[in-house]
Amino acid sequence: MLKKWQQKLAIIFSTILMLSTLAMAPIQAQAATVSVSAKSGIAVDAKTGQILYAKNSSKALPIASMSKMLSIYLVLKSIHEGKLKWNQRVHINANIEKISKDTELTNVPLSTSRTCTVRDLYKASLIYSANAAVMALGIAQAGSSKAFVNEMRAQAKKWGITDAKLYNASGLTESEVGKEAYPNTAKNDENEMSAKDVAIVASNLLKDYPEVLKTTKQTSAWFAKGTTDAVKMTTHNYLLPHMADYLKGYNVDGLKSGTSTKAMACFTGTVKKNGHRIITVVMGSSSKNEGNARFTDTQTIMKDVYNNFKPVSYKKGTALKQASTFKVPEGKTTTVKAGLQQPTTVWIAKNQSTKTISFRSKQAESKAGLSAPVKKGQKVGKATVKVANQKVNYLQSSDAELQLTTKKSVEKANVLVRFWRSIVSVF
């Protein structure tokens, strides 16, 4: 009889242990079960940079026209700084005209005899992925193709992207851009980044210039309407509403496709659902059937994120458990409460409890504590997140650190109080 009860207890204990293990499984483990055909891919929270899915995401691969996101970032930066104007007329050089007439490439007709506005070239670059158009923008912005590529490289480095290979604004091979090729490059050279790098570019584009979505969500637009060169441009993003691969309930509004022989079919997508925006990148999907596989892969990743994970939001000022109190040894009060400087979100698996989220703080000053006086809103430390005691992965290390600020001021205690505390501490 005793052995039977022991057996029953063993079964019950094993079951409880199994269920608790599943409940505590880190988000990264569940994301790894998603199967896509692409060579590499990634999904991240657009605001926090938390990685929700990853497949060979650090491997540098050709990115084709997804290059245009970095190019457009620099163009928008120049517009915001007043260096370029939307209605500014752009002169087209002979090299750019020649590229625009290459029927093997995606283009709108450009001519040395006709100028184009920055706005027209911008829309052509994003909606139609017009290669010569984005190169013309680069020249207008930096003075030459070489100078613009140097800016692309500098910006990538500024974001911590170290393994990128950047040769031109469009993502074409160097042989395809002819005399606009970067000096001392091989004909088959083309832009390369990892999926993680591309996600960094996309997240910065959306963070700094969210207005780009007003253009990327357009399914069609006219170029040079009313002229003999008029072209009705149709998007290559088939996930947009009313397009062939639209996924009901997922109102995708960007960002950029890319296709080349070496890159195969690539796509950077973004969607906001239930108030939370994610960015996805797939690279090296099949190019057959107009690159349909990249959209199927993107759908798979997007559905997995929203169906299997849940976002846990923390408001500005929230005092985080295990990271809310800081010592102020010389203050009138010897501790001060701190909270989040900015709101944040942590994604966890849907079968996980919010209790699996924990925070660890790192004080801004020495272990001895903060120096009094302390001002309200003063930065006093940073917190990092764990889910089920597992490190949460982010696009960049800086994304993983949550800034903490004080919820109230703490004045310095008078000399007698400080003296008495020093005596008491001895005993």
Indicate if 129 belongs to the active site: yes
Question: Measured between alpha carbons, how far is residue 257 from residues 267, 302, 371 in Å?
Answer: 4, 16, 52
Q: One of 55, 68, 196, 217 is an active-site residue; which one?
A: 68
Strands 325-327 and 264-273: unpaired
> Which pLDDT score, from 0 to 100, does residue 12 have?
40
**CB-CB neighbours of 92 under 10 Å:** 22
Q: Is the pLDDT of residue 3 over 70?
A: no
148: nearest Cα among 228, 67, 59, 217 = 67
Mean pLDDT to the nearest integer, 302-311: 96
Q: What is the pLDDT of residues 45-97, one digit of tens each?
A: 999 999 999 999 999 999 999 999 999 999 999 999 999 999 999 999 999 99
**Is residue 379 helix, strand or coil?**
strand
Band the pLDDT of 426: cuts 50, 70, 90: low
- Please report the pLDDT score of residue 369 as a whole number: 84
More confidently predicted of 417 and 205 = 205
Residue 2 pLDDT greater than 60, yes or no = no
Active site residue 398: no
Return d(Cα 194, Cα 203) in angstroms, integer: 14
User: Is the pLDDT confidence value at 222 over 90?
Assistant: yes
Give me the chain's average pLDDT, please.
90
Average pLDDT on 165-181 reads: 98
* 129, 170, 194, 285: the active-site residue: 129
Q: What is the DSSP letter of 364?
A: S
Residue tagged active-site, from 40, 47, 57, 65: 65
* Predicted pLDDT at 415: 77
Q: Specify the pLDDT at position 10.
A: 46
Predicted TM-score of the model (pTM): 0.89
Domains of the chain: 27-309 (3.40.710.10), 315-426 (2.60.410.10)
Q: Is 175 a catalytic residue?
A: no
Tens of pLDDT, residues 141-152: 999 999 999 999
Residue 1 pLDDT greater than 70, yes or no: no
Residue 31: predicted pLDDT: 45
Looking at residue 247, its pLDDT comes to 93
